[in-house]
A and B are shown apart, each in its own frame.
Chain A
């Protein structure tokens, strides 16, 4: 770091950068994965979250607090992921990914993929059923069970009331239960 330029920068710039670095270290992976769960496209997910971080940095003077900044990041990510999903092409691509994800990520070869599928049959059905839920329900359940957010945090991230969060969670879980039990 050149001291020269350091002197020229307002100290808030340093604070913003420190916050950025810290939040990146702590939350980059989970936010990208959150976005990935919503959009099913790693590239888009990374770019979405990258954009969120840049935006957070630009707004640091209003945030000034890691918790507020994290909440801001989550809102950005969920909003942007939702916008992406509106685009049909991505959804189509998602279906393809869905079908190919296991081999595509190379976690297993075909025979063991089957073992894997058997071992996680319920989980796979859940993921499929989750993908079929209305967007809101899917977002609520993903935030709740992937990020383990509270109802208030989910409400904040989605810009809805906690009552609505409860309702979406309830309906979503009921639908998932139905889906799993129908098959088994």
Chain B
């Protein structure tokens, strides 16, 4: 192949490859974040500001927060990488030769002197809100510190309250140095993309069971509070899953539970920059999480905001009661169409015994397809049938048989009823066989 052919092939291949994705429309979110940033500099309500950019950085930083799955090595060496990811803003402005280019270990590459940016005044003046820590991602290294100590690098044994929003959760009574604690896996719901390639903006709720440390004999309220705190911090998972962070910069202050009411108190009404469908799900996420953690059915949930706001996301009145919509109302539609439930995230399974993957699905004609891959290779693929077809939610089970040691990813997906080829829902789960 001569050079001209090679270049043509490469150009074609890159364009074909790039066309595989259809970028979602984020114009509104960008404008909102940009305006909020501007307001910020003017000294108004700045803490709402760079939600969007915080989300981006969080997504970048995400995976290291949890000692997830396959990777047992200490993640500490990665900290500099996160730090450098903050250079999104300031880095390029000061085109130092080869900024951060080759030295992945050196955090100093991330410090094109904050003074080089035009937003240096942000953090100092507006820091009190926890969003101050995630917010102004543009200003660089100093800001990253607060978000790091929280997530214990080794993973699933975080401090009493979830690692998530350190400042405001720390002071509550439940996290007092109670000597007797127990670890528990708490249900937490997240707003994530359903993986619809024909409509990339579709979101649904996913459930995760995440580790938390609770005082021995924790009350329902303590469990609910810990679970809600987990659900409100999607950041540790955003590198692995297409989850939004609709509660970025907001945290739960307290939860109270009676037989007929769960009251969730937040320290903010939620960031800007999310559309109505997303914020509705963000509220539902807390409802599902609190109800699941309490475990006594669909007790209505109401909200309070310590800053006096009366509407979550400026839309949903805190005075109202919220419930997960019932199945009769199509409630399951708030859930992402496909869930993988087992094996749990990051689970290490013994080689030699059959690996069984189970989950739930709300898919057309109950038809679910799956694919198991290891590295770049597809190990197996097939189809299965859920116990019920849409609109019902069925359960499904795939026995992939014994597997040799390795890291695997199981992808479950459904294709469009219209043409049988468009993927309309998809999710995946990684696990290790050893």
Contacts and interface: CB of A to CB of B under 8 A. Distances in A.
A9 B81 CA distance: 37
A101 B53 CA distance: 27
A171 to B, nearest CB: 14
A58 B37 contact: yes
A79 to B, nearest CB: 5
Scoring B10, B52, B426 by chain A CB atoms within 10 A of each residue's CB, the highest score goes to B10
Interface in B22-81: 23-24, 26-27, 29-31, 33-35, 37-38, 41, 50, 52-53, 55-57, 59-60, 63-64, 68, 70-71, 78, 81
A88 B63 CA distance: 9
Nearest to A106: B423
Given A32-B23, A59-B93, A75-B91, A37 B18 contact: yes
A13 interface: yes
Contacts of B413: 103-104
B104 interface: yes
Given A50-B53, A98-B376, A120-B16, A89 B240 contact: yes
Contact of A145 (B11, B19, B119, B239): B11
B411 interface: yes
Interface stretch (B95-103, B141-149, B207-215, B336-344): B95-103
Interface string B275-293: 0000000000000000000
A106 B198 contact: yes
Contacts of A53: 30, 34
Contact of B420 (A103, A109, A176, A177): A109
B383 to A, nearest CB: 11
Interface in A80-126: 80, 82-84, 86-90, 92-93, 95-96, 98-109, 120, 122-124, 126
Contact of B98 (A59, A84, A159): A159
A16 interface: yes
Contacts of A29: 23
A33 B21 contact: yes
Contacts of A149: none
Contact of A122 (B9, B38, B57, B428): B9
A104 B37 CA distance: 36
Given A61-B118, A86-B84, A159-B96, A76 B371 contact: no
A173 B6 contact: yes
A20 B21 CA distance: 23
B30 A180 contact: no
Contact of B21 (A42, A141, A177): A42
B1 A43 contact: no
Scoring A34, A44, A86, A181 by chain B CB atoms within 10 A of each residue's CB, the highest score goes to A86
A42 B371 contact: no
Contacts of A100: 371, 373, 378, 409, 411
A27 B75 CA distance: 35
Given A79-B92, A87-B78, A123-B16, A24 B118 contact: no
A177 B56 contact: no
Contact of B407 (A92, A102, A177): A92
B63 A87 contact: yes
A83 B100 CA distance: 9
Contact of A48 (B16, B60, B96): B60
Contacts of B420: 109
23 contacts: A17-B31, A28-B26, A37-B17, A42-B200, A44-B60, A51-B89, A55-B88, A58-B118, A59-B89, A89-B64, A89-B240, A90-B63, A92-B407, A95-B375, A96-B430, A106-B198, A106-B424, A122-B1, A122-B13, A146-B18, A160-B98, A177-B1, A184-B1
Interface of B: 1, 3, 6-7, 9-21, 23-24, 26-27, 29-31, 33-35, 37-38, 41, 50, 52-53, 55-57, 59-60, 63-64, 68, 70-71, 78, 81-82, 84-85, 87-89, 91-93, 95-101, 104, 117-119, 137-138, 193, 197-198, 200, 238-240, 242, 371, 373, 375-378, 407, 409, 411, 413, 415-416, 420-424, 426, 428, 430
